[in-house]
Structure 1
Amino acid sequence: MSLAFCGTDNNSAAYNVDGGVLNNGCFLDALNVVPHVFLLFITFPILFIGWGSQSSKVHIHHSTWLHFPGHNLRWILTFVLLFVLVCEIAEGIVSDGYSLHLHLYMPAALAFMAGVTSIVYYHNIETSNFPKLLSALLIYWVLAFTMKTIKFAKYTEHGIGPRQLRYCITGLLVLLYGLLLAVEINVILGRRYMCFDDPTEVKPPEDLQDLGVRFLQPFVNLLSKSTYWWMNKFITSAHKRPIDLKVIGKLPIAMRALTNYIKLRKEFEDQKLSSIRPVIRPVVCFFTPGLLLGFSVQKLSEFFSCDEIGDEQEPRATLTSGYSNHNQNKYHAVSSNESLPSSSFLSRCLQPLKVVNRKRPARDDWNNFSPRGDQEADGVSQGVDQDTCIKMCLCLLDSLCCCPPRTHTGKLTMIVGQVGCGKSSLLLAALGEMQRVSGTVTWNSPTPDRDAAGDGTVRKRGPVAYASQKPWLLNATIVENVTFEMPMIKSRYNAVIEACSLQPDIDILPQGDQTEVGERGIILSGGQKQRISVARALYQQTNVVFLDDPFSALDIHLSDHLMQDGILKMLREEKRTVVLVTHKLQYLPHADWIIAMKDGTIQTEGTLKDIQKSEPELFEQWKTLMHRQDQEFQTETVTETMTDLERKNLRRAMYSREAAKTEEDEEEESMESEDDDNLSQVMRQRATIPWRSCGAYLSSAGPLLLSLLLLSQLLKHSLMVAIDYWLARWTSYVISAKADGSPRNCSADCSFSHAWYLSVFSVLCCLGIVLCLATSVAVEWTGLAAAKELHHGLLNKIILAPMRLFETTPLGSILNRFSTDTNTIDQHIPTTLECLSRSTLLCVSAMAVISYVTPVFLIALLPLAVTCYFIQKYFRVASRDLQQLEDSTQLPLLSHFSETVEGLPTIRALRYEPRFRHRLLQFTDANNIASLFLTAANRWLEVRMEYIGACVVLVAAVASISSSLYNQLSPGLVGLGLTYALMVSNYMNWMVRNLADMEVQLGAVKRINGLLRTEAENYEGLLTVSQVPDGWPRHGEIKIQNLSVRYDASLKPVLKNVNVHVSPGQKVGICGRTGSGKSSFSLAFFRMVDMFEGRIVIDNIDISKLPLQTLRSRLSIILQDPILFSGTIRFNLDPEMKATDEMLWEALEIAQLKSVVKTLPGGLDAIVTEGGENFSQGQRQLFCLARAFVRKSSILIMDEATASIDMATESILQKVVMTAFADRTVVTIAHRVHTILNADLVIVMKRGTILEYDTPQALLDSEDSVFASFVRADK
């Protein structure tokens, strides 16, 4: 058959236009081919020759990439054009009949090709920023518009109206070509690339010039933006390399926190200025919705089970009610065109309504929302002389009234007074950190600044170096905490470190001053944190320095060193103004000006001589206290100060952690060497699901609950399918009854009872609600049982863990297992597991129903399943990495925010707000970019699942229609299959997303299981509890034979071949320098360390044979840091609740605490706050002593128990020990040598061995005795 364009063999006659052009339709169709052939002929050489192979690749980081005016509109119109052209092709094919009329659809096919080519051509022109090439498109749109207009006129002339599809399609094409022509003309006018002498040059976005910007959603074309096509390379690359901050890059400028902060700040300032005008209130609507949405969180009181029941069974209950009303109010039964669409509609609306309900903003009353603007510090004035730095006259919230203290420039001012008199408040008031009620604060600033209000020149203070009473540190290195954003000056840094005596502490750390101190300086003691805080104030090159009680956590020697070298030498030589709050009155003679405070007021001020004349009584009190503190300084031992103890603890912790870190590094190196040999194996492990952690979680719930969970889920979803199947059968019978000519009122027909089907449907829905409830209860019950099992196992493992675990594992890591990971297991995993099982079973049910209705669907199911597998495979890896990255970037953001809030006085004093704000915005950007990529990845998955779902619907629809035509498939089953096909994409989307979420959340189970594998201490002994005498140890005799001790098998011994014999009731004192093994000696009595050689025999029983709990419960110890627990005094004295009230009061009386406890509300039931903070340090030590007396142990060990208390409390404690424990064996590890002069035996240790062992008198009589040298140094 010859090719006939016009459907006839004589084409020349077909092109005859003697009767007029508009009368020959085939000729007009031939003319419509010309514009499309022109475009294809012009653009193909440009695409394949001009850009070559690069035309098929999207080079986003092109130096000329930009969008022309009307970019999105052009894409939308092109998509609509292509759709209309497809309709024209279909209309031409259907209208073709039996002969071959190519002119009916060939021009439309060429137009479709030209439309696709036009948008590809336009995209490449945008990437090259060469708008002159758009002239080809301009000619094409003109020609296409003209040809279609002629054809539309021909239809109009021949009377073809809107009722004809061909007429409507042609009219739409004329409209679309006209709009595209208008868009092209708009580009010409905007870019001026044709017929203009000065074309407009537009530079590409700055973000695209930065290769670090990889979030390209705002810059790609509309097609890529709507399908997230630009994410393809990112998603697939995650399978080869883990995603980190370097991979995701930076945010675009418009999305960065700094940009939005500037916009918000500008708008806020404009509104604040407008509020100055009368009767004008600031408008905050521009950010109110976001703020209100932040408060819209679901309350924990909403039960997840009830929520889930409503989500799943509301559609069924609605259908049941609707069908019942339909039966009563209508004269015919429910048909398939009513039942199945309504069921599908309700199921499709469920998820959007659920999301909208949970995102509903909080409906707070607008009148209650009254934001206030920034409050500028007012009351700042001029008029102070050059010798005065600060002058104040304040009244602050009834807590402080000062009138008027002065701080002199370049002088040392000391503020003294009793606790709570307002010394710290005075400093904060000068810094503007307290609410001012009245008065002024005047600073002598060298440069005047213009006030924002424009009411005159005022003097604002410059930066002030401020060391608060409670030390504040950054989670950074020591050098970063000291320099604090200042340039590193090595000589100044070394001088500050020396003045604060920090060098010995730095030498202990494995990385020196590059060691990170942890959150809130967790690895450091209180004194070490205080010295770093003071070092920061000394290092800052400010004219004014505020020091708030810097000696509070320091011993006498270190305080004197800081005073002499740091304050009197460094600060005075630099002529800096120093304001010092202190309780150390012995330093008053060094002050140039003294301010004495009492009850929030200035009692007196002046030099020391002035106060001696004006306030002689106050001066005498100071003189007495200064003499007492001087005596304390003279009697302080030089063998081991409080600072030495801090360094000893730090050395011990760093020694253990460094050893553990070395072991971990060796393991990591071995693993890395193996991984380098087989990198693909590591990537495969990242792509696999953590089945082991999942199995550990499910096994924790127990087989019974696990079986109940699986059974309830299967029954629930089976019943849901049965409900839909019954509905399909119901509608099929309705159609069958109508086809057989049955009465319209089916309920009156015996062969078909509408009430019967409605009753069964209602019963099935009720059973579904019950099974939904059972499933939700099973899920929550299983999650609760698994979480409880894991938490209790973790708690028991931590309680029974050896002490080395706490020395080698950061405390924050252990706390995270009990907080963050436990919260994930408690609240997130059960919900995710339920959603995963539900979406999986729904997806399987949908596929099964579709396959049952149309078995041919199984042929198409295989390629769809393979496609879905690869999509989820790549998505899960990327989603897991992005979720972990989002969590890891959120932690620094929250930590920095909390650090900034805690250190606001220090930050604002130094005027470092912009620096910390900038850092906060950087952390915000890092978290935002991870969150944006995670959201984009979810959208990427959703779009592709929708594609697969559309394919499923297409295949199911074609197969169902074919089966119904040839195999007489019932309409109800056809509707059932299509209903399930419409929901497949949603089920698959949530199945993959929940699977990725589950992988991330199972990491909590994996980390907890890591701690559960920790080897616990052996609490069982060779002797049972019944074999140990009840009163053991009765006498307190101790025999230590060839004892060698180490902290771990991989570490060196800390005690070597120790031999000691202590008779019953003897008092033994142990002394030695730092690191000599004294504390290890005390730990050996409780088997806290590894006794790998020798033994300790107490009352003829080897303690290594005793059950560990029995041993530790029969001995008592008082540590250097007293431990009190949150609860009552009764609980802290007798945790086992075995002692009577008389015994407790007796113990308190012996510890000289009876009068203190009696004054408290509740007496023995008075509340003890966390750590015993509502008691002083000395009182906490005395409570520990009372607790040891209640236990009535025959052996008491005091491990430097008096190291951190004052001399008066120490004498009380020693007196109590000598009287209350007169008949018991007491082992005292000495902090001050004079405390063991009355001991029966003295042991001097050195490097883990006993250097001297004799009575105190015998050792004192020996001239070469080390103990004697200690005593002489103490005098």
Structure 2
Amino acid sequence: MRSLEDPGIGEDPETEPAESTLGSETEPAESTLGSATEPAESTLGSETEPAESTLGSEDVSRAAGLRLARSARRLVGSLLGPHRGGVALCLLILVLENAVRLTGPLVVAYAIDTGVPAALDGRPAALSWAVVGYAASGLAAAGLRAAFLLLSGRIGQDVLLELRRRVFTHAQRLALEWHETYTSGRLISRLTSDLESIDDLLDQGLDGLLGAVLTLGGITVLLMLIDPVLAGVVLAGFVPLAALTIWFQRRSRASYRLTRTRVARVIVQFVESMNGIRAVQAYRREARNESIMAQLNTRYRDANADALLTLSWFVACVRAVGNVTLALVLLFGALRVSSGALELGALTAFLLYLRRFYDPLDQLAQFLNAYQSAAAALEKLSSVLDTPVGVPEVAAPTPLTAARGALEFDRVSFAYPRAPERLVLPEFSLRVPAGQTIALVGATGAGKTTLAKLAARFHDPVSGSVLLDGVDLRVLSDADLRRALVMVTQEPFLFSGSIAENVALGRPSATRAEVEAALATVGAGFVRDLPEGVDADVRKRGGRFSAGQRQLVTLARVVLADPAVVLLDEATSSLDIPSERAVQAALETVLADRTALIIAHRLSTVAIADRVLVMADGRVIQDGTPEQLLATEGDFADLHAAWAASLR
């Protein structure tokens, strides 16, 4: 069964932005993708899975499990809602198929008790009709089976398509805080191995459950009609079967929750190791990473083995009950035939139905196995979908037709959700007139990047307001805010595709000439030297270009987007001196007549600022032009002296 196999890892962890690109100096330390260290167990526990030890302790609490189960049921209901008509038609086809299939043994009994004696007397019509009827029922059952599989398969794929769309769309809307905690590998696990488990259930869901129930119900009624005494022997076997089913449900639910947790950890380790491959090879971490992966793989194998063992015991016990019941029916049935209380044909039909009676039980066991795996996967997926959007868009946004770029922080206080007791910004106020360039400098942890994140509305303040042209960001539409404000991060990120496609992210409707003009504006002359020009493939994360060249491409995006406000978060800190000078020259062009917040540790970038704010502990401790602050003693003069000394 695929639900117990190692899942595919999926395509590209490489296409995710590096999580460090927006790394705040004030947030708790993150596990970076390039650290080549073991995945911290605690980073995998936000889905209510406690730290690993035993099966019982890894399973969620009963109350949490019930909440997750309810959430999963709501999710299934919403996914199947648009397909109610198709599901009803599937049920009708399934009922008809089972009815047709159940006529077979009755036709056999008629042939033995009536058709054969009549044929021996020279009247073969009854036997001929029995043969034709049996063949017709087989053909009809085959046709109905094909129709059911086609329709149920289409519904199942539509449900999976919608589920993938929901998870991907919702994940993109979740707060940065969530993404910094919920590792990319776990999200890949949700969209690969968890969806495979649900696919398995959809493949056999209606058929496995409803088909088995209909078959069991129909056969039970027919057994009672053929011979109530022998039917009583069969029904007595339901007592151990019911106990076995209850045990299997409870045990397999715990087992599959464990497999979902452990496969996510395998994928997390794989993704982090591959994204951090430079650090892995530079520090010769291959052997250690292999040891970590071997341990995680062993745990995943053990969890799967436990689930398979549970299924094996259930199937074996069900078949043992079935075989014992069949032997008893054969014994008592033979006695009743010999006494004349039962016809031989009726006993034959009874035994044929009884053989079919236990096939659905095996089918039901397979369904329950797939169901428990899919239920655990649905719980994980629903936990993602139930996570509230960090910065929800207002239902009736205030329009912002032509942004001027005046930015204001009005008595803003902020604390990260992971540490709500620690205020990063304690009632911060700042006005930035339209067109002014402000540089924010200070030690790590001063709150500079937090200001940029609030201005970009990656977070909302705990109290106070951030305003653009006098309008609170919380009442602006996302589209208006993204048109008016663009953020350039320390790590320039290029998506798979051409240079032109990456630049056009700033304005997708731009023409080729406008893209080329934007690149020329920022001085990205290297593009003209490429044989393919703007059509050159950037490769994985822009790996064919230097950091400075990638940053010039991202600045061309800004030129093309033409925002009123530009946020620069350490945009030159990772560049060498020639690249830094090229980017700084581009910045002077990009920031002309725009409002800008520049976060910088390299004070060479500060020279283009109209005003410098020195921050410490979420407060402004110095404010003035670069020349004014250099002329006075203070933190900025000390920082500048230390920076100048580092260049000697």
- When the two structures are superposed, what TM-score results if normalisation uses the length of structure 2? 0.81
Q: d(CA) in 1 for partners of 2:200 and 2:531? A: 41
Q: Which residue of 1 aligns with 2:508?
A: 1137
**Contact (CA 8 Å) 2:391, 2:459: kept in 1 or not?**
no
Shift of 1:777: 1.8
CA contact (8 A) 2:253 2:376 kept: no
Question: Is 1:1070 aligned to residue 440 of structure 2?
Answer: yes
**CA–CA distance in 2 between the matches of 1:912 and 1:1023?**
53
Q: Give the deviation of 1:1176 after TM superposition.
A: 1.5
Of 474, 478, 483, the residue aligned with 1:1113 is: 483
Question: 1:710 aligns to what?
Answer: 91
Letter in 1 for 2:241: C
* Matched letter for residue 632 of structure 2: S
1:1184 Cα deviation after fit: 0.5
1:1085 aligns with 2:455: yes
8 Å contact kept, 2:266–2:297: yes
- Quote how far apart the aligned CAs of 1:955 are: 4.4
Residue 1267 in structure 1 maps to residue 639 in structure 2 = no
Say whether the 8 Å CA contact 1:1203–1:1231 is kept in structure 2: yes
- The equivalences for 1:737-748 within 5 A come to 737-738=118-119, 741-743=121-123, 746=124
The TM-score with structure 1 as length reference comes to 0.43
Instruction: Give 1:1208 shift.
Output: 1.2
Verify the 8 A CA contact 2:273 2:280 in the aligned structure 1.
no
In the alignment, the residues of structure 2 paired with residue 1167 and residue 850 of structure 1 have an alpha-carbon distance, to the nearest angstrom, of 70
| 5+ residue gaps, structure 1 | 1-296, 301-507, 511-521, 534-653, 670-674, 747-751
CA positional deviation for 1:765: 2.6
Q: 1:1147 to 1:910 in 2, by over 3 A?
A: closer
Q: In 2 relative to 1, CA 931–819 (structure 1 residues): closer, same or farther, beyond 3 Å?
A: closer
Report the equivalent of 1:978: 351
Partner of 1:732: 113
State the partner residue of 1:945: 318
Give runs of aligned pairs for residues 147-162 of structure 1, distance below 5 A.
none
Asked whether the equivalents of residues 712 and 778 of structure 1 are also in contact (C-alpha less than 8 Å), the reply is no
CA contact (8 A) 1:1044 1:1091 kept: yes
Show CA shifts across 1:1129-1154 (max 9, x none): 22211235210111100011112224
**For 2:510, what is the secondary structure of its paired residue?**
coil
1 or 2 for the larger relative contact order (CA 8 Å, sep ≥6)? 2
Aligned to 2:175: 802
SS where residue 973 of structure 1 aligns? helix
Query: Matched residues in 1 for 2:564 and 2:130: separation?
Result: 84
SS at match of 2:424: strand
Cα gap change, 1:965 to 1:1109, in 2 (>3 Å)? farther
Two-structure CA RMSD over aligned residues (Å): 4.3
Q: Which amino acid aligns with 2:595?
A: T
Matched, 1:1196 2:566: yes
Q: 1-side partners of 2:278 and 2:514: how far apart?
A: 49
**Paired residue for 1:763, among 130, 136, 140?**
136
Alpha carbons of 1:1121 and 1:833: their partners in 2 closer, same or farther (altered >3 Å)?
farther
Separation of aligned partners in 2, 1:668 and 1:933: 19
State the SS of the aligned residue for 2:427.
Answer: strand
SS class of match (2:604): helix
Q: How does 1:608-1007 map to 2 (within 5 A)?
A: 693=72, 696-697=75-76, 699-702=78-81, 703-738=84-119, 741-743=121-123, 746=124, 752=125, 754-827=127-200, 829-831=202-204, 834-881=207-254, 937-958=310-331, 960-961=333-334, 969-1007=342-380
TM superposition shift of 1:668: 8.0
Letter aligned with residue 643 of structure 2: D
Q: Is the 8 A contact 1:1047 1:1090 kept in 2?
A: no
Q: May I ask how many residue pairs the two structures share in their alignment?
A: 606
Question: 2-side partners of 1:1247 and 1:904: how far apart?
Answer: 35
Q: How many Å separate the matches in 1 of 2:68 and 2:110? A: 40
Cα separation, 1, equivalents of 2:250 and 2:359: 21
The Cα shift of 1:983 comes to 3.7
Residues 503-582 of structure 1: pairs in structure 2 closer than 5 A: 523-524=31-32, 526=34
Contact in 2 for aligned 1:1130/1:1144 (Cα 8 Å):
yes
The answer as to 2:371 corresponding to 1:1024 is: no
Aligned partner of 2:473 among 1103, 1110, 1113: 1103
**Counterpart of 2:494?**
1124
1:63-142 map, 5 Å: none
User: Which of 1139, 1152, 1171 pairs up with 2:523?
Assistant: 1152
Aligned-partner Cα distance in 1 for 2:67–2:223? 30
Instruction: Tell me what 1:1057 maps to.
Output: 427
- What do residues 407-433 of structure 1 show as CA deviations (whole Å, max 9, x unaligned)? xxxxxxxxxxxxxxxxxxxxxxxxxxx
Q: What secondary structure is seen at the aligned counterpart in 2 of 1:1232?
A: coil
- CA shift, 1:697, in A, is 2.5
Q: What whole-Å deviation, never above 9, does each CA across 1:802-852 have from its counterpart, x for those lacking one? A: 222112323322222122212222345533653344444434443333222
Query: SS state of the match for residue 1237, structure 1?
Result: helix
- What is the distance in 2 between the residues matched to 1:1125 and 1:924? 31
- Relative to structure 1, is the Cα distance of residues 761 and 998 closer, same or farther in structure 2, using a 3 angstrom cutoff? same
CA distance in 2, matches of 1:950, 1:881: 29
Cα distance in 1 between the residues matched to 2:606 and 2:67: 64
Which has the larger Rg?
1
3-state SS of 1:1090 partner: coil
| Alignment partner, residue 19 of structure 2 | none
User: Bigger CA drift: 834-843 or 1058-1067?
Assistant: 834-843
Question: 2:555, 2:590 within 8 Å by CA — same for their partners in 1?
Answer: no
Partner of 1:1177: 547
Q: SS of 1:776's equivalent?
A: helix
Q: Distance in 1 between matches of 2:631 and 2:557?
A: 38
What's the secondary structure of 1:998's corresponding residue?
A: helix
Maintained 8 Å contact 1:1245/1:1252? yes
User: Residue 182 of structure 2 aligns to which amino acid in structure 1?
Assistant: T
Distance 1:984 1:1051 in 2: 63
1:1036 aligns with 2:405: yes
Compared CA separation, residues 1103 and 985, structure 1 to 2 (3 A): closer
Structure 2 stretches lacking a partner, 5+ long = 9-26
Q: What CA distance in whole angstroms lies between the structure 1 residues aligned with 2:464 and 2:320?
A: 75
User: Given residue 1144 of structure 1, which amino acid in structure 2 is its aligned partner?
Assistant: V
Which structure 2 residues correspond to residues 190-269 of structure 1 after superposition, within 5 A? none
* AA at the equivalent of 1:742: G
Which amino acid in structure 1 is aligned with residue 107 of structure 2?
W
Structure 2 Cα separation of the partners of residues 897 and 1268 of structure 1: 46
For residues 901-939 of structure 1, the C-alpha deviation after alignment (integer angstroms, 9 at most, x for no partner) is 9999999x99998x9999998888767766666555544
Q: Secondary structure at the match of 1:1061?
A: strand
Distance, in Å, in 1 between the alignment partners of 2:68 and 2:627 is 72
Contact 1:833 1:998 in 2 (8 A): no
Q: CA deviation at 1:859?
A: 2.7
Q: Which letter maps to 1:1008?
A: L
Please give the secondary structure, in 2, of the residue aligned with 1:947. Answer: helix
User: 1:1045 is matched with which residue: 392, 414, 432?
Assistant: 414
Q: In structure 2, the residue corresponding to 1:1233 is in which secondary structure?
A: coil
For residue 1015 of structure 1, report the CA deviation from its aligned partner: 0.9
Question: What whole-Å deviation, never above 9, does each CA across 1:1111-1169 have from its counterpart, x for those lacking one?
Answer: 123211110011111122222112352101111000111122244255243x3333232
Q: Residue 462 of structure 2: SS of its match in structure 1? A: strand
2: CA distance, partners of 1:894 / 1:1140: 40
Q: Deviations over 1:662-714 (max 9, x none)?
A: x999x989xxxxx99xxxx9789999995863564354122223323322222
CA distance 1:811–1:1200, change in 2 (3 Å): same
